[in-house]
């Protein structure tokens, strides 16, 4: 059985540069970034974590839609599985944006 050679997709920007370019216009979830960049959410998590460590990214915390709990001390980029207060699982994804000084404001 012969394995097909995978032809890489042509990109003018790196994935991280693409993420930063998209965030210049405002806040986005990982799902919205995934659709715009055409990469899986799973693939983007590593890039988002790296940008967070490099201080090129700010997280607007996830929030429980049942009780309103904000995951403000959470430093992971993935959406939490359940709320520590009410144990609800209906949680708004965190939003990602650029630090204020990089948005030109």
Backbone angles phi, psi at 58, to 5 degrees: -125, 140
CATH 2.40.30.10 assigned to domain 15-100? The reply is: no
Q: What are the start-end ranges of the H helices in 24-100?
A: 30-37, 41-53
Question: Taking the mean position of all CA atoms in its chain, how far away is CA 34?
Answer: 8
H or E stretch at 16: helix 15-23
Each domain of the chain, given as residue ranges in start order, spans: 15-100
Give kind and range of the element (H or E) at residue 91. strand 91-92
pTM given for the model? 0.80
Q: How far, in Å, CA of 49 to CA of 78, rounded?
A: 9
pLDDT in tens, 30-69: 999 999 999 999 999 999 999 999 989 999 999 999 999 9
């Amino acid at each position: 059985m012969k394995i097909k050679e995978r032809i890489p997709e042509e990109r003018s920007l790196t994935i991280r540069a693409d993420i930063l370019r998209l965030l210049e216009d405002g806040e986005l979830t990982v799902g919205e970034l995934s659709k715009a960049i055409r990469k899986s959410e799973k693939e983007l998590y590593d890039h988002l974590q790296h940008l967070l460590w490099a201080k090129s990214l700010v997280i607007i915390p996830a929030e429980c839609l049942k009780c309103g709990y904000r995951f403000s001390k959470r430093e992971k980029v993935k959406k939490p599985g359940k709320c520590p207060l009410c144990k609800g699982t209906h949680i708004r994804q965190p939003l990602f944006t650029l630090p204020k000084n990089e948005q030109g404001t």
